[in-house]
Amino acid sequence: MNVLNFVNAFFSDSAHWQGYDGIPARLGEHVRYTLEALALAAAIGLPVGLVTGHYGRGGNALSLVATAGRALPSFGLLVLMTTLLGFGMLPVMIPLVVLAVPPILVTTYEAMRSVDPSPVDAARGMGMHESRILFQVELPVALPLILSGLRSAAIQIVSTATIAAYVSLGGLGRYIVDGLYQRNYEKVVGGATLVAVLALVTLALFWAAARAAVSPGVRRS
């Protein structure tokens, strides 16, 4: 039996499409974890990256934080948090946010730093306020790079949110964890396929968002 047969068997079983352990329910949970973690990570990473990038200060501190964040193993952190805080949503969110903040923070900072300084100089010289310079001069130009940072964070969250299942929460990881435990490889492969598809959908969504939000003058097309 090869992998494609597993995939076929998993998705053609009608039992996998309904109930609390059905694909729609698990997919819904997975998307919810992803959105929550991404929103939290963006709420931390974007403002810090935008402000430090605008003023050009704190770059070294940022890269330290980012390196530290990347070096932390998500699974280890999950276990540690669960031991400290008990079961629940919070111990799952912490490793996901820790994972997602560095790419958002670092790319946002770099995106702001790489904006051509002459329009900023011109804007300041014509009497534009600093906040307006940040949002109306720098941000629109830095947007493609910032979106790419959010995109890689989102993809990492999608693939890592499977660990929630280890601490008895839902999501697509449920299939993988349960499948391994039950030696039901059909389930394992089916769950992994769903995660991969969700990652591809995320990519497509970010591509569409970039098309819609980035000015043709910046896209140069």
Residues contributing to the site for other proteins (CB under 8 A): 116, 118-129, 132, 136-137, 140-141, 214-218, 220
Cβ proximity to other proteins: between 83 and 118 the closer is 118
Min dist CB 126 to other proteins, Å, is 5
- Asked if 45 contacts 98 with a C-beta cutoff of 8 angstroms, the reply is no
* Token representation of residue 20: 């609390």
Q: Tokens representing 134?
A: 């940040």
Closest contact distance (angstroms) between CB of 220 and other proteins is 5
Backbone angles phi, psi at 58, to 5 degrees: 85, 10
CB of 200 to other proteins, least distance (A): 29
Q: Which is nearer to other proteins, 29 or 138 (CB)?
A: 138
Nearer to other proteins, 197 or 218 (CB): 218
Cα 172 to Cα 191: distance, rounded to the nearest angstrom: 6
- Considering beta carbons, is residue 12 or 118 the nearer one to other proteins? 118
Provide the minimum distance between the beta carbon of 166 and other proteins in the complex, in angstroms, as a whole number: 45
User: Are the C-beta atoms of residues 77 and 189 closer than 8 Å to each other?
Assistant: no
Helices 139-160 and 23-55, interaxial angle, to 10°?
140
